[in-house]
Chains A and B, each alone.
Chain A
Amino acid sequence: AQSVTQPDIHITVSEGASLELRCNYSYGATPYLFWYVQSPGQGLQLLLKYFSGDTLVQGIKGFEAEFKRSQSSFNLRKPSVHWSDAAEYFCAVNDYKLSFGAGTTVTVRA
Protein backbone atom coordinates (compact mmCIF):
# COMPACT_ATOMS: atom_id res chain seq x y z
CA ALA A 1 0.00 0.00 0.00
CA GLN A 2 1.17 3.49 -0.70
CA SER A 3 2.09 5.79 2.18
CA VAL A 4 3.65 9.17 2.75
CA THR A 5 5.77 10.37 5.67
CA GLN A 6 6.53 13.96 6.50
CA PRO A 7 9.08 13.75 9.33
CA ASP A 8 8.82 17.36 10.43
CA ILE A 9 5.62 18.41 12.17
CA HIS A 10 6.61 22.05 12.57
CA ILE A 11 9.38 24.19 11.09
CA THR A 12 10.20 27.79 11.97
CA VAL A 13 12.22 29.81 9.51
CA SER A 14 13.28 33.45 9.30
CA GLU A 15 11.96 35.59 6.49
CA GLY A 16 14.45 35.55 3.65
CA ALA A 17 16.01 32.26 4.72
CA SER A 18 15.80 29.07 2.71
CA LEU A 19 13.24 26.37 3.41
CA GLU A 20 13.28 22.63 2.85
CA LEU A 21 10.41 20.32 3.72
CA ARG A 22 10.98 16.60 3.71
CA CYS A 23 8.74 13.94 2.22
CA ASN A 24 9.32 10.21 1.97
CA TYR A 25 6.98 7.84 0.21
CA SER A 26 6.40 4.15 -0.03
CA TYR A 27 5.06 2.96 -3.34
CA GLY A 28 5.75 -0.01 -5.55
CA ALA A 29 5.86 1.68 -8.94
CA THR A 30 6.81 5.09 -10.26
CA PRO A 31 4.68 7.41 -8.18
CA TYR A 32 2.74 10.50 -9.02
CA LEU A 33 3.85 12.96 -6.35
CA PHE A 34 2.37 16.26 -5.25
CA TRP A 35 2.89 19.10 -2.84
CA TYR A 36 -0.09 21.10 -1.64
CA VAL A 37 -0.25 24.19 0.55
CA GLN A 38 -3.07 25.12 2.90
CA SER A 39 -3.44 28.52 4.51
CA PRO A 40 -5.53 28.70 7.71
CA GLY A 41 -9.21 28.13 7.01
CA GLN A 42 -8.61 27.56 3.33
CA GLY A 43 -8.65 24.66 0.92
CA LEU A 44 -5.62 22.95 -0.59
CA GLN A 45 -3.73 24.60 -3.39
CA LEU A 46 -1.50 22.58 -5.68
CA LEU A 47 2.10 23.83 -5.58
CA LEU A 48 3.68 21.33 -7.96
CA LYS A 49 3.59 17.76 -9.16
CA TYR A 50 5.93 15.10 -10.48
CA PHE A 51 4.86 12.43 -12.91
CA SER A 52 7.99 11.57 -14.86
CA GLY A 53 10.97 13.11 -16.62
CA ASP A 54 13.13 15.80 -15.09
CA THR A 55 13.52 15.06 -11.39
CA LEU A 56 13.65 18.75 -10.44
CA VAL A 57 10.15 20.20 -10.67
CA GLN A 58 9.29 23.88 -10.60
CA GLY A 59 6.05 25.04 -9.05
CA ILE A 60 4.14 28.16 -8.20
CA LYS A 61 5.18 30.79 -5.66
CA GLY A 62 8.89 30.10 -6.21
CA PHE A 63 8.80 26.53 -4.89
CA GLU A 64 10.64 23.56 -6.37
CA ALA A 65 10.90 19.90 -5.46
CA GLU A 66 13.36 17.16 -6.28
CA PHE A 67 12.40 13.54 -6.83
CA LYS A 68 15.04 11.07 -5.67
CA ARG A 69 14.05 7.51 -6.44
CA SER A 70 17.02 6.00 -4.56
CA GLN A 71 15.93 7.75 -1.37
CA SER A 72 12.16 7.52 -1.99
CA SER A 73 12.01 11.23 -1.34
CA PHE A 74 10.31 14.26 -2.82
CA ASN A 75 11.55 17.24 -0.82
CA LEU A 76 10.15 20.73 -1.28
CA ARG A 77 12.42 23.78 -1.32
CA LYS A 78 12.26 27.51 -1.55
CA PRO A 79 15.42 29.66 -1.65
CA SER A 80 13.99 32.68 0.20
CA VAL A 81 10.76 32.52 2.18
CA HIS A 82 8.26 35.33 2.52
CA TRP A 83 5.93 35.92 5.47
CA SER A 84 3.05 34.81 3.24
CA ASP A 85 4.59 31.33 3.01
CA ALA A 86 3.45 30.60 6.56
CA ALA A 87 1.01 27.73 6.07
CA GLU A 88 0.65 23.99 6.29
CA TYR A 89 2.25 21.90 3.56
CA PHE A 90 1.18 18.45 2.51
CA CYS A 91 3.01 15.89 0.43
CA ALA A 92 0.87 13.33 -1.39
CA VAL A 93 1.24 10.29 -3.63
CA ASN A 94 -1.36 9.17 -6.14
CA ASP A 95 -2.14 6.07 -8.11
CA TYR A 96 -5.95 6.11 -8.37
CA LYS A 97 -6.46 7.63 -4.91
CA LEU A 98 -4.46 10.32 -3.24
CA SER A 99 -2.68 9.51 0.04
CA PHE A 100 -1.41 12.38 2.17
CA GLY A 101 1.30 12.86 4.71
CA ALA A 102 0.36 14.33 8.08
CA GLY A 103 1.57 17.77 7.05
CA THR A 104 4.29 20.23 8.07
CA THR A 105 3.36 23.57 9.57
CA VAL A 106 5.70 26.40 8.58
CA THR A 107 6.04 29.47 10.76
CA VAL A 108 7.90 32.49 9.35
CA ARG A 109 9.48 34.90 11.82
CA ALA A 110 10.35 38.46 10.93
Chain B
Amino acid sequence: NAGVTQTPKFRVLKTGQSMTLLCAQDMNHEYMYWYRQDPGMGLRLIHYSVGEGTTAKGEVPDGYNVSRLKKQNFLLGLESAAPSQTSVYFCASSYSNTPFFGQGTRLTVV
Protein backbone atom coordinates (compact mmCIF):
# COMPACT_ATOMS: atom_id res chain seq x y z
CA ASN B 1 0.00 0.00 0.00
CA ALA B 2 1.90 3.03 -1.30
CA GLY B 3 -0.59 5.74 -0.18
CA VAL B 4 -0.13 8.94 -2.19
CA THR B 5 2.67 8.93 -4.76
CA GLN B 6 3.89 11.97 -6.64
CA THR B 7 5.92 11.87 -9.84
CA PRO B 8 8.48 13.34 -10.42
CA LYS B 9 10.15 14.31 -7.15
CA PHE B 10 12.36 17.00 -8.68
CA ARG B 11 12.24 18.93 -11.93
CA VAL B 12 13.89 21.95 -13.47
CA LEU B 13 12.02 23.70 -16.27
CA LYS B 14 12.86 26.57 -18.53
CA THR B 15 10.45 29.49 -18.72
CA GLY B 16 7.73 28.71 -21.23
CA GLN B 17 8.08 24.94 -21.07
CA SER B 18 5.18 22.73 -20.14
CA MET B 19 4.97 19.75 -17.84
CA THR B 20 2.55 17.51 -15.98
CA LEU B 21 2.80 16.40 -12.39
CA LEU B 22 1.19 13.09 -11.56
CA CYS B 23 -0.47 12.19 -8.29
CA ALA B 24 -1.57 8.61 -7.76
CA GLN B 25 -3.38 7.18 -4.74
CA ASP B 26 -4.23 3.57 -4.02
CA MET B 27 -6.69 4.16 -1.17
CA ASN B 28 -9.81 4.61 -3.31
CA HIS B 29 -10.29 8.14 -2.00
CA GLU B 30 -12.86 10.39 -3.62
CA TYR B 31 -11.28 13.77 -2.85
CA MET B 32 -7.90 14.83 -4.21
CA TYR B 33 -6.03 18.12 -3.97
CA TRP B 34 -3.03 19.97 -5.34
CA TYR B 35 -1.22 22.49 -3.13
CA ARG B 36 1.83 24.61 -3.52
CA GLN B 37 4.10 25.47 -0.61
CA ASP B 38 6.14 28.64 -0.51
CA PRO B 39 8.21 29.96 2.42
CA GLY B 40 6.14 31.84 4.98
CA MET B 41 2.87 31.18 3.18
CA GLY B 42 1.94 27.69 4.30
CA LEU B 43 0.19 25.52 1.75
CA ARG B 44 -2.16 27.12 -0.74
CA LEU B 45 -4.77 25.16 -2.62
CA ILE B 46 -4.41 25.22 -6.41
CA HIS B 47 -7.18 22.87 -7.59
CA TYR B 48 -9.14 20.03 -6.12
CA SER B 49 -11.45 17.24 -7.17
CA VAL B 50 -14.40 15.70 -5.33
CA GLY B 51 -14.57 12.66 -7.59
CA GLU B 52 -13.65 11.13 -10.91
CA GLY B 53 -14.34 13.50 -13.79
CA THR B 54 -14.73 16.57 -11.56
CA THR B 55 -12.35 19.43 -10.82
CA ALA B 56 -12.64 22.82 -9.15
CA LYS B 57 -10.48 25.88 -8.61
CA GLY B 58 -8.82 26.54 -5.31
CA GLU B 59 -7.12 29.61 -3.93
CA VAL B 60 -4.36 30.04 -6.55
CA PRO B 61 -5.47 28.34 -9.80
CA ASP B 62 -4.01 30.73 -12.40
CA GLY B 63 -1.41 29.16 -14.67
CA TYR B 64 -2.42 25.60 -13.79
CA ASN B 65 -4.83 23.05 -15.20
CA VAL B 66 -5.90 19.69 -13.78
CA SER B 67 -7.61 16.52 -14.86
CA ARG B 68 -9.15 13.59 -12.98
CA LEU B 69 -9.91 11.04 -15.68
CA LYS B 70 -9.40 8.11 -13.32
CA LYS B 71 -10.33 8.04 -9.66
CA GLN B 72 -6.83 7.13 -8.55
CA ASN B 73 -4.99 9.81 -10.53
CA PHE B 74 -4.99 13.60 -10.34
CA LEU B 75 -2.80 15.43 -12.85
CA LEU B 76 -1.53 18.99 -12.51
CA GLY B 77 -0.41 20.72 -15.69
CA LEU B 78 1.66 23.80 -16.31
CA GLU B 79 1.13 24.92 -19.89
CA SER B 80 3.76 27.66 -19.95
CA ALA B 81 5.94 27.65 -16.86
CA ALA B 82 6.93 30.91 -15.20
CA PRO B 83 9.56 31.59 -12.52
CA SER B 84 6.71 32.46 -10.11
CA GLN B 85 5.71 28.81 -10.28
CA THR B 86 8.94 27.72 -8.63
CA SER B 87 7.64 25.95 -5.56
CA VAL B 88 7.14 22.66 -3.82
CA TYR B 89 3.94 20.98 -4.93
CA PHE B 90 2.00 18.60 -2.73
CA CYS B 91 -0.79 16.30 -3.64
CA ALA B 92 -3.25 14.94 -1.11
CA SER B 93 -6.18 12.57 -1.11
CA SER B 94 -8.91 12.51 1.47
CA TYR B 95 -11.29 10.03 2.98
CA SER B 96 -13.70 10.81 5.78
CA ASN B 97 -12.41 14.38 5.93
CA THR B 98 -8.82 13.34 6.68
CA PRO B 99 -6.27 14.28 3.99
CA PHE B 100 -3.11 12.29 3.43
CA PHE B 101 -0.16 13.83 1.61
CA GLY B 102 2.43 12.74 -0.89
CA GLN B 103 6.10 13.51 -0.45
CA GLY B 104 6.09 16.52 -2.74
CA THR B 105 7.57 17.64 -6.05
CA ARG B 106 10.22 20.33 -6.00
CA LEU B 107 9.89 22.37 -9.19
CA THR B 108 12.31 25.07 -10.26
CA VAL B 109 11.56 27.30 -13.24
CA VAL B 110 14.57 29.15 -14.61
Contacts and interface: CB of A to CB of B under 8 A. Distances in A.
Partners in one complex: yes
A8 B58 CA distance: 26
Nearest to A32: B97
The binding surface of chain B is classed by DSSP as strand
B43 A90 contact: yes
Given A32-B97, A102-B41, A43 B58 contact: no
A100 interface: yes
A75 interface: no
Contacts of A34: 98-99
A42 B101 CA distance: 10
A44 B45 contact: no
B90 interface: yes
Interface string A19-60: 000000000000010101000001111100101000000000
Contacts of B103: 42-43
A97 B45 contact: yes
B100 A98 contact: no
Question: In which size bucket is the chain B interface?
Answer: 20 to 34
Interface string B92-109: 101001111111100000
B50 interface: yes
A49 B100 CA distance: 12
Given A96-B31, A97-B48, A46 B41 contact: no
A44 B58 contact: no
Interface of A: 9, 32, 34, 36, 42-46, 49, 51, 90, 94, 96-103
7 contacts: A42-B103, A43-B90, A44-B43, A51-B97, A96-B31, A97-B58, A98-B99
6 closest cross-chain pairs (CB), A and B: A100-B42, A43-B103, A102-B42, A44-B101, A100-B43, A43-B101
